[in-house]
Each structure stands twice: as structure tokens, then as C-alpha cells.
Amino acid sequence: MAVAFLNGEFLPLEKARISPMDRGFLFGDGIYEVVPTLATRPVGLRGHLERLDNGLCALGIHNPKSADQWETLIAELLRKNSEELVSHSVGVYIQVSRGTVMQRAHGFPDNIPPTVFAFAFATAAPPLPDRSKVTPFSVITEQDRRWQRCNIKSTSLLGNVLHFQQSKIAGKQEVILYNDKEQITEASACNVFAVVQGHIVTPPLDHQILPGITRDIVIKSLSRDGIAVEERPLTLAELKGADEVWLTSSSKEVAPVTYVDDKPIANGEVGAVWQQAIESFNRYKFDL
């Protein structure tokens, strides 16, 4: 039986209930995180907890737990789900909403306790670290229609959901988004990297993209191996003419993309730089 955590207690996931007056439900007024774990070892835990704290701070929601307390909660949740979740790869979803108040009003209510919810779920296995065996992605592109605060990992995900749905309808795995200057922002649930004329490029951190923890680990891992990543604007034309394109996220790690809008990237095969990147990532992912 899947076990969840809700407002201080562990309980069967199917029994977990919150009020429809919760601001997370009414306004999407909350922050979430997904912490990936492999054989119960979290990847990028410090980064995920820092981003959770930054997001809550940006929304003026009190972080109800210290980093140590979050870490204990994650470990406990994994332990309580160890029979249910035999998968090697497990994600821990954490959500903190502003809380419940019996009046619907836009302004923040004073002094209400946040709603804290967490559950664990099996995720797909990470990509095979072999360019001849890994399954590559095929994606579409669209103009980014989301809000101006994409750096906040808000539970208001409708913009991302609508973009993702277009890729699903097209029978693809993701959608890469670009702004009104035709600069790449990110994908609906991943960050984007490209190899352009031999240089690894990823869009810079700003309000247009989520500061991905996997993005950060990829940049730091490659740097440890002496390979630089340029954080600079990347145009749609550069992306389409790139030698390689990758997507990064906690659940997908570093996913190679070989088709964009039904056209091959370079020769349509997974590239040699991806091979280096996934090897660096796997070497250091538990340390960074």
C-alpha cells in the first residue's frame, strides 16, 4: 500500500484528503519539488531543498521544515514505501501550499499553516549510458506561452501542461519552447542543451526558465572533467542546426534528442558529446 505524508502524519495515499478551500487547489498557490532517488540515494538533494526554500520565500510562504527535517521525511517516506516501490528509481514529490482558509480571496491570508504533502512514486529507469543503446527523443517546438516567473517551481503548471499536451498530440516526447526573440527558453518539463559548432550551450538562468538541478549537475560535472558549458542565449535556428540537442530533468537525467519538428539533428543519431556528458553526470551525480 502506497504511503503518503500529509500535514504531519503518514497515511495510506488513498486516504489522504485536503479541503477544496486549500489555496493550492483554488489558486495553484504553492511550490513543489521532485527529488529523484536511485536505490534510496537522492540525487541533487541539497539543490532541490534550496530551490524549495527559494520558491517558498518568493511566494512568502513559511518553509515548515529545515533541510535536515526534509531529508528525514524523504528517507522515512522511502522506507515506508520500500515494499510497495521495488523500482530502483523512485521520485519523491513534495508540495507545500499556502494552506486552507474558509474564504476565497486573492490576497494572502495572515498566519495560516501551510499544507504539506509528499508521496513517493516509481520513475522510469535512467537512460542507458551508451549512445548505441539509449532511446532518443523526438520533440516539437512552440512559442513559449507561459507566465513571466518560470524560475519559480510553482504548482500553477497549466501553461506547461498545455504545451506538453501539444507534443503528446503530435506523438512526440517533449516540446522545446522559444520566446518572442526566437531564443530557446526550456522544454515543458526539462532544460535544454545544444552542441553548437563544438560548443555546449544552454540558455542562461533568468525568469524564463526553471533553474534545473539536473542542468546544474550537468554543468558542474562537465566542468570537473575540464569541459566548459556556455550559458548564453541559444536561438531556435542554432538549435535546429546544432550537432546535438539534449534535455535534462531529474527523471530523464540527460536525454538525447535526435529529431526536432520531424527533422533530424545532424545525422539523426545520438552524438559523442552526449556520451561524454552522461558519463560525467553519472560519475559525479551523487556528490554535487
Binding site for ligand PLP (CB under 6 A): 160, 186, 189-191, 210, 212-215, 248-250
Q: How far is the CB of 212 from ligand PLP (least distance, A)?
A: 3
The residue among 161 and 266 lying less far from ligand PLP, judged by its C-beta, is 161
At 192 the three-state DSSP class reads strand
Q: Which of 253, 284, 273, 104 is nearest to 191 (CA)?
A: 253
The residue among 100 and 160 lying less far from ligand PLP, judged by its C-beta, is 160
> What is the rounded distance in angstroms from the CA atom of residue 47 to the CA atom of residue 175?
25
Give the type of residue at 267: N
Question: Quick one: how many helices (H) and strands (E) in the chain?
Answer: 7, 15
- Residue 153 catalytic? yes
The residue among 138 and 248 lying less far from ligand PLP, judged by its C-beta, is 248
> What is the rounded distance in angstroms from the CA atom of residue 157 to the CA atom of residue 32?
10
Asked whether 285 and 44 are in contact (CB, 8 A), the reply is yes
> What is the rounded distance in angstroms from the CA atom of residue 27 to the CA atom of residue 19?
13
> What is the rounded distance in angstroms from the CA atom of residue 158 to the CA atom of residue 146?
8
At 178 the three-state DSSP class reads strand
Question: Which residues are within 8 A (CB) of 109 and not within 5 positions of it... i.e. 6 or more apart?
Answer: 98, 99, 101, 103
The residue among 6 and 210 lying less far from ligand PLP, judged by its C-beta, is 210
Within 13 A of 179's CA, how many CA atoms are on the CB side?
16
The residue among 160 and 167 lying less far from ligand PLP, judged by its C-beta, is 160
Phi–psi pair at 107, nearest 5 degrees: -60, 150
User: Which listed residue (15, 80, 133, 153) is catalytic?
Assistant: 153
Question: Where in the sequence numbering do the catalytic residues fall?
Answer: 153
